[in-house]
Structure formats: structure tokens, C-alpha cells
Amino acid sequence: MSRCRCTAGWLLLASAAFLCTSPAALARPRLVLKLGHGLPTTHAVHKAMLFMADRVKARSEGQMIVQVFPNEQLGNEKECIEALQLGYLAMTKVSSAPMESFVNKMKVFGVPYLFRDSEHFWKVLDGPIGRELLLEGESKRLRGLCYYDAGARSFYTKSRAIHSPADLSGLKIRVQNSIMAVKMMQAMGGSATPIPFGELYTALDQGVVDGAENNAPSFVQARHYEVCGYYTLDEHTCLPDILMIGTRVWKKLSAEQRQILQEAADESVRYQRTLWLEQEQKDLQVAREAGVEIIRPDKQPFRESVRPIWDEFESSSDQKLAEIGDLIDRIQEVP
Ligand code: GCU
């Protein structure tokens, strides 16, 4: 997405403002919240946001509308976060990875092999730590409403199968716009290349990168499986997707509007988790049937390769790093 297209989108949004009144609506003002994100429309997370938008419309009797714009139409994840801060865009859904540059504590999700299993992951996210992290960005004008399941991320490559970190050596692997992802690739021995999600298909196709990493629904729904023949389920990180609202917009909502939005978000979480589990299995099968070799490697060498990342946080006297070290400890203490 070029900066120019994005700026045009922002201007449009700014001029439309988030409160629109049409002549017919003078007596009944309508609140329109625009939500931009980068995933395709067939993706479970997109479907969950449509579900949330339906609930908002029904509960407000048509007075609150959430308009969902997929496929980076309103900008990539970093651009959408910035637009929220500036108040040009009301809502976005991003991965926790690009949030790291705005909210230091979000880096904790990028610590490889942090969660024992998905039960541990959800216990942390549904509990006080998860809540604390959703609200951590408020001073940066970013408020998290809920988390969506984005499974575990694993490597996929075009022409070399990855069985251990040694196989990543010399390969250019696309990563998200995230310091933690770059650290992880360095620790594992590959070469990290940050590229926005919407540009990745072309980058893979044209050989700008040799591979990438993601969950099965994103690998398949973004059609990356058409160009990558190997998918290695090393499951290095569990980065949640996060539904965000700009605090400028949030503060302008009435107590009732806030409640409608939050409850709809919470309901969409339950819906999305079921949808996710189905889609994860289905998409792995789609990849397999298309001829992708699915590799289930021994995870131990991957775990060992990223140990320096854990050590750096746990032994640091730098306050920002130590903050992550404390969070790692608290997360590990969750039974
Ligand atoms: C996941 C996540 C997206 C993110 C993407 C990426 O698919 O749901 O929000 O953009 O990973 O790798 O960039």
C-alpha cells in the first residue's frame, strides 16, 4: 500500500468523521465506526468482526454501525495503528507484533515458546495479565477491546524443507514489523525481512524472500501455500490478534455505546474461537491436498536456539527489558 493511497483513505475518513448525520437521521443520529484490518474476507478473524458488527447494529437498533474494511484497504497494520492514534480511524484489528513498537509490554507475546499450551495461553489472556495488556496502550491513545485466536506461528518455505533451525541458515524469511520477530530469526540463524502482510504473496512469488511464518488459516487464506511447498509446524510463537479502538473515539462514546461495543466484542470472541479451531484443521488439509509437505519437527532444537532471548530479558538491568522479564515470570506462574 503506498503512502499516498493510505493518506487519501485517511482524508476520506477524516472528512466523513466518525459521527455522520444524514438529513433523515437528524432526529436519530447514527454513529459510524470504521474498522480497517489486513486479513482476507474468508478468514475466521474477519468473520468474527462481521459478527461483532452485526451484534452492535442489532443492540443499538441500527444507531451504531461498525464498517469493516479488510485486505489493508485502509493501510497496513502499522498505518492503521497510527491512524487510530491520530483519530482518523476509529478501530483496527492487528496482530500483537506491530503493537510492540507502540506498547513495550506487548513484546512479551513475541517471546518464543512462552506458553505451555493453548490452555495456558487462554488462561493468561482471559485473566488479569491479558486485561492489563489490553489497557496498557491507553496513554498512547490505543485501547484493546478483546483478543482473537491467531493460533501458533510456524515456518513455510518455497524450496527448502525446514527440519531444524540449521535449515534456516542463508534463507530470507519474511517477518512482521516486530523487533521480537527479528530477534527470533537472528537467534534461529535465518535472515529476517520485515514486509507488510498484504505485500507478502508477491514477495514470495517473486523470490524477494524464501519463506515466511504464520498460522495455517493465514498461510492458506492469503494463498501463500500456492507458492510455498513446505510447512514446518514448529509453532514458535502464539501472537494473539487484538481488536483496538482509539481512545479519542472511545472517550466520545456514551456509557451505553461503550457497553454495546464491549459486549459485542466479547461475544465475537466466543464465536471466533470455535470458528478458528475448525478453520485451522480445514486449512491444514487444504494445504496438504494441494501438495504442501507438512513437517512436524522435533521442537527442542528450536526452543534451544531462542534461549538467549529469554536470558536477555531475565537478566537485564534495562528497565524496558526487565519489564518484559517480569511479565515472563508472571506468565510462567499462571498454573
Ligand atoms: C496473522 C495475523 C495478522 C497479521 C499477519 C502477519 O495472520 O492475524 O494480523 O497481519 O499474521 O503475519 O502480518
Task: State pLDDT tens for residues 212-242.
Answer: 999 999 999 999 999 999 999 999 999 999 9
Q: Looking at the predicted structure, is the pLDDT value of residue 192 above 70?
A: yes
Measured from the CA of 217, which atom of ligand 1 is nearest? 7
Distance 95 CA to ligand 1 centre (A): 6
Which ligand 1 atom is at minimum distance from the Cα of 218? 7
Which of 45, 43, 62 has the alpha carbon at shortest distance from 54? 62
Bridge-based pairing state of the strands 241-246 and 142-148? antiparallel
How much distance in Å is there from the Cα of 309 to the middle of ligand 1?
A: 22
pLDDT at 45 exceeding the cut of 70: yes
Provide the percentage of residues in the chain whose pLDDT is more than 70.
Answer: 91
Q: Is the CB of 231 inside a 6 Å radius of any atom of ligand 1? A: no
Please tell me the predicted confidence (pLDDT) of residue 315: 81
- Residue to mutate, 218, 224, 275, ligand 1, most ligand atoms under 8 Å from C-beta: 218
Which atom number of ligand 1 is nearest to the Cα of residue 45? 8
Instruction: Compute the radius of gyration of the chain from its Cα atoms.
Output: 20
Mean pLDDT of the chain: 93
Query: For ligand 1, is residue 217 a contact (CB within 6 Å)?
Result: no
Distance CA 32, CA 64 (A): 6
Spatial contact of 36 and 89, defined as CB atoms under 8 Å apart: yes
- Average pLDDT score over residue span 74-87: 98
Angle at 234 between CA 232 and CA 236, to 5 degrees: 130
pLDDT at 28: 54
Query: pLDDT grade, residue 11 (50/70/90)?
Result: very low
pLDDT digits (tens, 9 = 90+) for 261-289: 999 999 999 999 999 999 999 999 999 99
What average pLDDT does this structure show over 197-208? 97
Mean pLDDT over 14-27 rounds to 43
The answer to whether the beta carbons of residues 176 and 56 sit under 8 Å apart is no
Q: Which residue owns the Cα nearest ligand 1 atom 10?
A: 197
Q: 23-53: b or e for each residue (b if 16 or more CB lie within 10 Å)?
A: eeeeeeeebebbbbbbbbeebbbbbbbebbb
Going by C-alpha positions, the residue among 306, 334, 307, 312 that lies closest to residue 324 is 312
Q: What is the pLDDT of residue 12?
A: 41
Tell me the β-bridge partners of 155: 213, 232
pLDDT per residue over 296-312, tens digit each? Answer: 999 999 999 999 999 99
Sketch out the chain's domains with CATH numbers.
3-103+116-149+240-280 (3.40.190.170), 152-238+283-333 (3.40.190.170)
Q: Is the pLDDT of residue 8 over 50?
A: no
pLDDT grade for 317, boundaries at 50, 70 and 90: confident
pLDDT of residue 296: 98
CA of 61 to the centre of ligand 1 (A): 33
pLDDT band at 4 (very low <50, low <70, confident <90, very high): very low
Structure confidence at residue 29 (pLDDT)? 58
- Residue 26 backbone phi and psi in degrees, to 5: -55, -40
Residue 85: predicted pLDDT: 98
CA distances to 186, 283, 294 from 160, rounded to whole Å, are 18, 21, 12
Nearest-CA residue for ligand 1 atom 3 is 95
Q: What is the 3-state secondary structure (H, E, C) of 195-211?
A: CCHHHHHHHHHCCCCCE
Cell triple for 55 = 451484534
pLDDT at 316: 84
Q: Which residues pair with 19 in a beta bridge?
A: 31
Percent of the chain with pLDDT over 90: 90
Given a cut of 80, whether residue 21 has pLDDT beyond it is: no
